[in-house]
Amino acid sequence: MRINLFILSEDPVFLAGLEAIVEQDDSVNLIGAAVDESRGLRCLKSNPLRPDVVIIGEPSCKRAICRNVAWVLSTYRQEKSRPRIVVVSQNEYDDVIVSALRLGVNGYLARIACPEELLQSLPIVARGGAAFSPTIAARFSKYFATMQRLPEPPEFSRLTSREGEILKLLADGLNNRQIARRLFLAEKTVRNYVSRIFTKLEVHDRAAAALRARDAGFGEQADTALPQPA
């Protein structure tokens, strides 16, 4: 089985290093690489080959990992299946790791000791398995065993109870009309609430708000649901 691989990393040096590693393995077919979402989208659309695995490489900031994972999910949301996703990053913040797992990553490798670790992980993930660095596996295993809840970011404390309720439904993938029906509100009222939520969370669209909400643990379907257009 030859694995079609695509790499997205906002660090050009890190991206070049990943490319050098995977090119050592004849079973891996590197179909493209990009340093940002817009270039990645153009590359994927222009390539007739569909990736089996997408590597999310070292990000420019802490939240970029989950943003890039969400981008991959949204790119393939209309298809019956999506590529498997592996994060390769030295970012080991607990909230980032847990948020990435909630979104649906299939592997998280931190501080790769040797190229073989990455190359051995790719076929495992491509066949439907999961691959995690030992330190990452131990940490999220402990997290889920204790069911520890991540501390709520301070900006969420500014939300009213109704705004929090609407944000949860937005994170579950409901649009304004569906939220209005669920809460027995006018659709215009929901739009006003959503606008205030954007302001308080300092975001500009539903996708960003949903991502922030999932990072904070909002939404029962955070690993699969994607925000629908208003």
pTM over 0.85: no
Paired with 86 in beta bridges are 55, 107
Q: Which of 90, 125, 146 is the last residue of a domain?
A: 146
Shared-domain flag, residues 192 and 158: yes
| SS3 per residue for 46-91 | HCCCCCCEEEECCCCCCCHHHHHHHHHHHHCCCCCCCCEEEEECCC
Examine residue 81 and state whether it is found in any structural domain, yes or no: yes
Examine residue 64 and state whether it is found in any structural domain, yes or no: yes
Q: How many domains does the chain have?
A: 2
pLDDT in tens, 85-136: 999 988 777 778 878 888 889 999 986 768 888 999 999 999 999 998 888 8
pLDDT in tens, 154-180: 678 789 989 989 998 988 888 999 999
Residue-number span of the structural domain to which 42 is assigned: 3-146
CA 177 to mean position of chain CA atoms? 26
Shared-domain flag, residues 52 and 142: yes
**CB contact at 8 A, 123 and 53:** no
Examine residue 226 and state whether it is found in any structural domain, yes or no: no
Q: What is the CA radius of gyration of the chain?
A: 18
In angstroms, the CA 169 to CA 185 distance is 13
